[in-house]
Structure 1
Amino acid sequence: MTARRAVVVSGSGRYADPWHPFGETSAALAEIARELGWEAEVRPSEPASLLDLGGVDVVVVNSGGGDPDAPPAPDAAWAQAHAALGRFVSAGGGLLGVHTAANTFSDWPAWPSVLGGRWVRGESWHPERSLATFEAVPGTANHPLLAGIDPPVGLPALTDTPCITCFDERYSRLTLAAASEPVLRHELGEAYETCAWTLGRVVYDGLGHDARSYESAARRRFVANALQFVAAR
């Protein structure tokens, strides 16, 4: 049986930023794919990386929003690359967007509808990084994305609720498409904030700021589950 193939599109150039170590998080994502027995390749966020997706099962977008004071301007080469990724997803290719994927491709108007949501500049935000708990949205405890992820011990309020504990950012006030289905949330200021969702077989995973996030076994399991989920077409 031919191994699955994943391409991790790692933030660089116009889709890099000063805050996220895309090299180390993209390496962690590729490592998780390889642990599943997949072939995994990390590519820079350049047009050529999305124009050659022949034989690829899953594209993992781990890219950022670029310089917030100088958003990416329309570019013909990138327009072709965006269109190629859109066709890949429409044809049944798997898509996993990680962390800053909600804030990337701001020059592609269709990206929020492809991903199922977006980071809205001036509205979305996050507290300082910390050890945080991300819990299953009610009704999703048996979702394939949460397989093998256990409820915390000693917290009766979260009995039967799969949770991920890791050192990470808690993205908040993200805007979801109407058809997106929340899977993970965190509690902030006595309100719940969605930080992971599905849209059909597309998955957005709002965790993964830096390598410390991937030190959590539950976090890594969530990524592995997400890869298998989007590939199961």
Structure 2
Amino acid sequence: MPRVLIFSGAGRYADPWHPFEETTAAIADVARGIGADVTINHSTPDAFASLADVDLVVVNAGGGDPHDRPAPEPVWDAAQAQLAEYLAAGGPLLGTHTAAAAFPDWPSWRELFGGAWVRGTSFHPERNYALFEATPDFVDHPIFAGIEAPAGLPALAGRPAVLCYDERYSAMVLGEDARPHLVHETGEKLEVCGWVTGDRIIYDGLGHNARSYESSSRRRLLANEMTHLLSLS
């Protein structure tokens, strides 16, 4: 049975807007649905201490209090080094929603992860039901298996898409190695809200709260992403 570790935002890596307890519970439910053994570790310095037997790390955490960002601390430097070692050894990682703003006290995170939410640059409109599309290069990728284009939208030309109630993260800052796999259209412009870095790191920008996970296509996307990453471990 594959083992999935979810790093869930709390304390240092929580914020006033995101209910990490409920979104972590939803992620865990999807992971168990694909046959995984799930461990939930909240934001404590020992969260990454035992990654030797972990097949997939999921980061569902944020950047902390926006008015008092976490500062580097030796104990957290050590924890982040443990996660970096896991990634360097080829361990797969999935980051959801606020993972793009996580670890502001870890300068290397943005480069490792492939992109970021940048304060003052990135934004999102008000939450609503929205359509998130696969990019052309990922239409036939396993992470979109079984997800079809909604009926009545010929503009998608059969491209798989997710319909859910969520935030549309926009103006994200991507690194050179990030390949967009999920976009939405806002203000007649395509905005990237998901990417793949290398072949073992996926960012899924959906999942603001539990309502996102009420969508069957959103849950299918998450399950497919985890299944794909687990197949590489």
Flag whether TM exceeds 0.5 (same fold): yes
Where 1:40 maps in the other structure, the secondary structure is strand
| 1:39 maps onto 2:22 in alignment | no
Moved over 2 A (4+): none
| 1:144 maps onto 2:142 in alignment | yes
Match of 2:159 in 1: 161
Deviation at 1:144, TM superposition (A): 1.3
Where 1:232 maps in the other structure, the secondary structure is helix
Deviation at 1:41, TM superposition (A): 1.3
- For 1:65 and 1:204, the matched residues in 2 are separated by 16
1:84-233 equivalences under 5 Å are: 84-200=82-198, 201-233=200-232
- For 2:82 and 2:180, the matched residues in 1 are separated by 27
Read off the aligned partner of 2:117 and give its amino acid letter: W
Percent identity of equivalent pairs: 52
Read off the aligned partner of 2:152 and give its amino acid letter: G
Deviations 1:132-188 (A, max 9, x none): 000111232101111110011011111211000000000001111111111010001
- For 1:104 and 1:126, the matched residues in 2 are separated by 17
Aligned length: 231
- For 2:137 and 2:47, the matched residues in 1 are separated by 37
State the Cα RMSD in Å.
Answer: 0.8
Match of 1:22 in 2: 20
Where 1:23 maps in the other structure, the secondary structure is helix
- For 1:232 and 1:113, the matched residues in 2 are separated by 24
1:56-95 equivalences under 5 Å are: 56-95=54-93
CA contact 1:152–1:159 (8 Å) conserved in 2:
no
- For 1:135 and 1:99, the matched residues in 2 are separated by 16
- For 1:136 and 1:54, the matched residues in 2 are separated by 33
Deviations 1:7-48 (A, max 9, x none): 111100110001000000001111111001110011101111
- For 1:173 and 1:51, the matched residues in 2 are separated by 34
CA contact 1:173–1:193 (8 Å) conserved in 2:
yes
TM-score, scaled to structure 1: 0.97
CA contact 1:141–1:160 (8 Å) conserved in 2:
no
TM-score, scaled to structure 2: 0.97
Where 1:96 maps in the other structure, the secondary structure is strand
- For 1:112 and 1:231, the matched residues in 2 are separated by 23
Where 1:47 maps in the other structure, the secondary structure is coil
